[in-house]
Amino acid sequence: MDYQTIKQSAFGELEDRKSRFLAFLEPIAVFDQKLEELRKEHRKANHFVTAHRHLLEDGRLEESGKDDGEPSGTSGMPTLKVLQGARLVEAGVIVVRYFGGTKLGGGGLARAYSGAAAVAIENSKLVPFIKMKKRRLSVSFADSAELEQQIARLGLEVIERDFTEQGVTFELEGPESLINGL
């Protein structure tokens, strides 16, 4: 399945019967840190609903939707469904709710949380997800120049070069399909 992801944060906002829903779409690498920052920044907010999708090394998806005190199933899961519908991975959304005094009911909460997440996705720049992989290769000194040319041609990143008595060991990172082709 073709997935999408984001390279940078995006924001969306929705208001429903005086309740404000602030949605922050974040790359998974900064998701937990952003949640901590938002909890400090929005101390008077009532709820911090989260949903995320992370692709594990073995190809399985880790995903969750947390209601943070809202009635079960009315906020975290609807928000997660929006991420699933957009085929987003390596991303998460945090929806900060300020209660406006009027109860929205289960359906109203689901529409508000998922709507705020959808606005954040609309405001983001989605890019195709490319699974990255690291690999170590050891070659003789004689073969190292040819491998260096192949690495440059493929646009792979050399993380580390170790020179030993036997030759050179490269630690590389790049798209999985290109790394597997070496």
Tens digit of each residue's pLDDT (9 = 90 or more) over 97-139 = 898 777 888 888 888 989 999 999 999 898 888 888 888 888 8
Assess whether 151 and 113 both reside in one domain.
no
Assess whether 121 and 139 both reside in one domain.
no
Extract the tokens encoding 87: 């085929």
Assess whether 37 and 90 both reside in one domain.
yes
Tell me, what CATH number does 156's domain have?
A: 3.30.70.240
Going by pLDDT thresholds of 50, 70 and 90, the confidence category of residue 1 is low
Whether the CB-CB separation of 76 and 66 falls below 8 Å is answered with yes
Q: 3-state class of 166 per DSSP?
A: coil
Q: DSSP letter at 152?
A: H
Whether the CB-CB separation of 117 and 95 falls below 8 Å is answered with yes
Look-up: residue for tokens 């050399």? 158
Give pTM, 2 decimals.
0.74
Domain that holds residue 95: 4-128
Tell me, what CATH number does 39's domain have?
A: 3.30.230.30
Whether the CB-CB separation of 103 and 143 falls below 8 Å is answered with no
Assess whether 106 and 142 both reside in one domain.
no
Assess whether 98 and 141 both reside in one domain.
no
Count of the separate structural domains present in the chain: 2
- pLDDT over threshold 80, residue 182: no
Assess whether 42 and 23 both reside in one domain.
yes
Assess whether 65 and 101 both reside in one domain.
yes
Range 121-160 burial, b when 16+ CB lie within 10 A, else e = beebebeebeeeeebeeebeeeebeebeeebeeeebeeee
